[in-house]
Amino acid sequence: MREDRIRSHIDVAPVINVSLVIVLTLMIISPFLGESKVKVKLPQATTSEVKDQEKVEITYSVEGELAVGEVVVTLAQLPHMLKERFQTNPGQMAVIKADERVKYEKVEKIIAIARECGAERIAIATEQKKGKGK
């Protein structure tokens, strides 16, 4: 006696192909998601990156443009924006990304505003030095 069985077969190749396309797309666009709209050239220094910490990025360009995260603000709006961010999550670190050509007194003013608004930890972003100094 021969028994005919119906065999069902699920083809997973299309699901895998679509999944890989989605992963590749996310990998390509992810570096651009966290960039600020204000472009700055950071000073170079021997540094270590702050990883896996919640942070508030304050970007300041040589032209005087100011941004908190991706939101462009004025100097007058900065305290209100920072107070709101630090009240929501008081343990965040303030990371100041100032162009290397910005005078330090202006960066000092931003540091003072961040402290007044509740920043317990403040860091100044730099780029890794290239060459022998590493």
pLDDT tens-digit readout, 52-107: 468 899 999 989 899 998 889 999 999 999 998 888 888 889 999 999 899 989 99
Does the residue 101 lie in any domain?
Answer: yes
111-132: pLDDT as tens digits: 999 999 988 889 888 887 776 5
What pLDDT does residue 7 have?
75
Does the residue 66 lie in any domain?
Answer: yes
What pLDDT does residue 111 have?
93
- Half-sphere exposure of 6 toward its Cβ, with a 13 Å CA cutoff? 1
Does the residue 33 lie in any domain?
Answer: no
CATH number assigned to the domain comprising residue 61: 3.30.420.270
Does the residue 71 lie in any domain?
Answer: yes
Residues 6+ apart with CB under 8 A from 50: 93, 95, 123
Give me the domain span that covers residue 88.
44-128
* Cβ atoms < 10 Å from Cβ of 91: 9
Q: How many domains does the chain have?
A: 1
Does the residue 35 lie in any domain?
Answer: no
Does the residue 123 lie in any domain?
Answer: yes
Burial 101-131 (b: 16+ CB within 10 A, else e): ebeeebbeebbebbeebebeebebbeeeeee
What pLDDT does residue 10 have?
81
Does the residue 13 lie in any domain?
Answer: no
Does the residue 14 lie in any domain?
Answer: no
